[in-house]
Every structure is written in structure tokens, then in C-alpha cells.
Amino acid sequence: MTTIFIGIGELGATCLGSGVLRTYALSSCVAVIMLAPRKRAAGLLHVALPTSDIDRNLAMDKLGYFADTGVPALLRRMRECGCRKDDLVVKIAAGGAVSIESGLRSNIGGRNLEAVREELKKYGMGAAAQDVGGDIVRTVSVFVETGAVIISSHGKALGEL
């Protein structure tokens, strides 16, 4: 079984009907999963920051880094797989709180979640399922053939979205 690894700020999609899309180290970052069960296609996006206003050059190099460039880019990839918006089931994961060195907690995870939800809303979409918040580090594995989305942390399965 082929595994496609999606790094921070990256996105990928497959319409081969099988394989796994996987991303690691989701804490304040947000995973956006798009599934087209009837077509056995799937896409995965690893958003690190809410808006590309922060760094336009980075946004051009890594469309997936920001919610406002990543969500439309993932939708384009899914269209390239022959999927229409009506074919898609969207799921999201992570967007947790992060402790920074001073002991303070950052709300970047909450801002990332809000930006992803707003971007999806622009396309008339929302998340059918989610596993968000908290202070754990998540791994997301998307099994294309079955459409299963497994959330794990430190090698232990937490559940299915």
C-alpha cells in the first residue's frame, strides 16, 4: 500500500482508489481532509497558519501553509481528480492549544481552526466530523479505499473521524 506523506504546509490528493495519506505533528496546525467516497479519492492539507498576509512569498512556495491559500488549492486538486464539491465529505483535526517557552498558551490553534472554517464556508462547505482542540499532538491517516480517517497520538490510536 502506497503512503503519501504530507508535511507541514503541504497538501496532496489521490484518485487512485487506494493508499494512505498521512501527516504528523499536528498540534496548533490543522489537518483538512476531503474525501470523495464514491470516487475513492481523498485529499489532505496540513495548515500551519491562518492567513497568507503573514508571508506572501511563503504562500506562493507552499500553498498549504495557510488556510486562505491551502483550502482553495486542495479543492483544485480534488477537482483534478474529477470530484465536484457535492462529492466531498470534509473532516478536520487538531488546532490545539500550544504552550510556549514562557509557560503561556498560544491561541494559534484556535485561530487556525477559525480560518479553516471560514475558508470552507466561502465554498458552502463545513466539517462533517472533527477532532479538535486540546493539547495533544496528533497524526492523521486517511485510508483512501475505505475512507477511514484514523487519529493517533504517539503511536496510539485515539479514534476514527
How far is residue 158's CA from residue 1's CA, in Å, rounded to a whole number? 22
User: From the candidates 15, 29, 81, 83, which is the catalytic residue?
Assistant: 29
How far is residue 114's CA from residue 119's CA, in Å, rounded to a whole number? 9
Angle, CA 30 vertex, CA 24 and CA 33 arms, to 5°: 85
What are residue 10's phi and psi, to 5 degrees?
-110, 170
Note whether 118 and 66 are within 8 A (CB).
no
Active site residue 15: no
Q: Which residues are catalytic?
A: 29
